[in-house]
Amino acid sequence: MKITEIVSTARPTISLEVFPPKDVAGWESLKKNLKILSKFHPAFISVTYGAGGKNRRENLTLLKMIKQEMGLEVLAHLTCVGQTREEISEIIQQLQENKIENVLALRGDLPSGQKNHGDFQHATDLMEFIRQIDETFCVGVAVYPEKHPESLDWAAELKYLKRKVDLGASFGISQMFFDNQIFQKFLRRLKDNHITLPVIAGIMPLMSEKQIKKITALCRATIPENLLDKIVNAPDEETAREVGTRFAIQQCQELLAEGIKHLHFYTLNQSASVSRIIPHLDLL
């Protein structure tokens, strides 16, 4: 099923993001956690793609396992920077052969030490290339409620997003955010600038001070002071996880009440936090 069909439904849905593990133990753990999470009937599961395609084989293996063995819909992340047209063309052919029809088109980052950007500079270059090969793919894009860290201003951010929509973007998945007002303001920006794009809300349950530092360094997402204080000053790890879980439950409940129908959970290949959040949501 194409994700455009999923986001067009009135019924609320949840979806999940996972990544290919690096070792056998990681694979076994992920299989166990996916089995646990599958009982919540995710509309689709997205699989990330390493910088420069370094985990390309593992990415396809995981996509096939979820789609063919578990019978769940998948979304293949595809990053283009550092790769050639021949490499991307081969990946697209493999997706076609395995009847994977949903792709998240991303620029990505160069692997450490690599200077050659390959044949692609931007996600829009990848989108154009995908269209040339197969126009039937359902192509999604990343969107940034607080704008991309490299964008000069909101005018530049929205101009680039409009370009993605013009190239056939069918949906967007948001970068994680922790302030629903920021997300709603972003959606109003799209509407005010006549950008029509279904946006799936990206949710990251916060579990520790270490995780917070990593997130703020990578994506610069604003974290409410009260949440930050409670996690940083928690007496132990379990209390910190409980604080993060309660916050995520409230965040999701408020989004659903405000009419946001589709929630995408960044699982970090774990099941515990998401399994505690979803039962508190009215997804009927």
Where in the chain are the domains? 3-280
- Whether 69 is a known active-site residue: answer no
Residue pair 192/158 in contact by the 8 Å Cβ criterion:
no
**Strands 74-79 and 102-106: what pairing?**
parallel
Computed from CA positions of residues 168, 170, 172, 173, in that sequence, does the dihedral angle turn out positive or negative?
negative
Q: What is the rounded distance in angstroms from the CA atom of residue 209 to the CA atom of residue 207?
A: 7
Burial of 34 (0-12, 13-18, 19+ CB in 10 A): buried
pLDDT at 53: 52
pLDDT at 49: 87
pLDDT at 76: 98
Which option is the CATH number for 3-280: 3.30.479.30, 1.10.3720.10, 3.20.20.220, 3.40.50.720? 3.20.20.220
Predicted TM-score (pTM) of the model is: 0.94
C-alpha to C-alpha distances, 105 to 115, 164, 247, 253, nearest whole angstrom:
21, 10, 30, 29
Closest CA to 45 of 24, 27, 59: 59
Phi/psi region, residue 108 (left: phi>0; alpha: psi -120 to 50; beta: rest), is left
The whole-number pLDDT of residue 55 equals: 73
**Which residue in 17, 101, 146, 157 is the catalytic one?**
17
- Torsion-angle region of 44 (φ positive above 0: left; ψ -120 to 50: alpha; else: beta): beta
10-residue mean pLDDT profile of the chain (284 residues): values are: 94 97 96 98 94 74 97 96 92 97 89 67 94 95 95 96 97 97 98 98 94 84 93 94 97 98 97 97 83
Q: Where are the alpha helices (DSSP H) in 219-269?
A: 225-232, 237-257
Task: Check residue 41 and give its pLDDT.
Answer: 96
**One-letter amino acid identity for 257?**
A
pLDDT value, residue 214: 86
The pLDDT, as a whole number, for residue 113 is: 56
3-class SS string, 92-121: HHHHHHCCCCEEEEECCCCCCCCCCCECCC
Give residues with Cβ within 8 angstroms of 86, minimum separation 6. none
**What is the structure's pLDDT at 283?**
86
